[in-house]
Chain A
Amino acid sequence: MYKVSATQLTDVLNTLAGTMDVFLPIRKDGQTNFGLYAEGVQADFDTLKTVKPPKEFFLPQSESLYKGVVDGKDIHIEPAAFADRPFVVFGMRGCDVLGMEILDKVYLGEPVDRFYEARRGHGCVVALACGRPASTCFCKPFGVDASDPQADVTAWLCGQYLYLEPVTERGRQLTHKLEPFLQDADAEDVAEYRQEIRERLEALPYNNLSLDALKDADMLEVFNSPVWDSVCDACIACGTCSYVCPTCQCYDIKDYNTGDGAIRYRTWDSCMYSDFTLMAHGNPRKTQKERFRQRFMHKLVYHPSTAGGQLSCVGCGRCVNKCPSSLNIVKIMKSLGVS
Chain B
Amino acid sequence: MQEQLRILAGKMLADGRAARVLGWKRTDFETAPEPSFFTAQDDLSELVYNKYCAANLSGFMIGAGKRDGVTVVFLKPCDTYSFNQLVKEHQIDRAKAYVVGVSCGGNAKVEEMEDVGWLERCLVCTKHDHVVYDELVLDESLSRPEAQDRFGGVTRLEGLQSLERYEFWQGELSTCIRCNACRNVCPACNCKKCVFDSAKYDTAAKANVTTFEEQLFHIIRAYHVAGRCTDCGECARVCPQDIKLQLLNRKIIKDINELYGEFQAGQDTETLGPLTAFNADTDAEPSIVHTRG
Contacts and interface: CB of A to CB of B under 8 A. Distances in A.
A273 B206 contact: yes
Interface in B168-208: 171-172, 175, 177-181, 183-185, 193, 197-199, 202, 204-208
Interface of A: 28-31, 33, 48-49, 51-52, 61-62, 134-136, 205-206, 230, 233-234, 236-240, 242-244, 252, 254-257, 265, 267-270, 273-275, 278, 320-322, 324-327, 330-331
Contact of B32 (A238, A244, A270, A326): A326
B28 interface: yes
Contacts of B28: 205-206, 330-331
B34 A135 contact: no
B175 A33 contact: yes
Nearest to A206: B28
Nearest to A257: B202
Interface of A is mostly: loop
Nearest to A278: B199
B115 interface: no
Contacts of A265: 209
Contacts of A52: 177
Interface string B109-127: 0011100000000000000
Contacts of A320: 29, 32, 113
Contacts, number: 132
A35 B22 CA distance: 41
Contacts of B69: none
Contacts of B41: none
A51 B207 contact: no
A62 B205 CA distance: 10
B181 A240 contact: yes
A29 B172 contact: yes
B35 A234 contact: yes
A143 B112 CA distance: 22
Nearest to A323: B32
Contacts of A321: 111-113
A142 to B, nearest CB: 18
Contact of A134 (B27, B36, B113, B204): B113
B240 interface: yes
A236 B172 contact: no
Contact of B206 (A48, A237, A269): A269
Nearest to B235: A324
A267 B202 contact: no
Contact of A275 (B34, B184, B199): B199
A103 to B, nearest CB: 17
B242 A268 contact: no
A57 B193 CA distance: 32
Contact of A238 (B59, B180, B242): B180
A206 B204 CA distance: 38
B34 to A, nearest CB: 4
B207 A61 contact: yes
Given A239-B178, A256-B202, A29 B34 contact: no
B240 A327 contact: no
Nearest to A134: B112
A243 B178 contact: yes
A108 B234 CA distance: 40
Contact of B209 (A136, A267, A274): A267
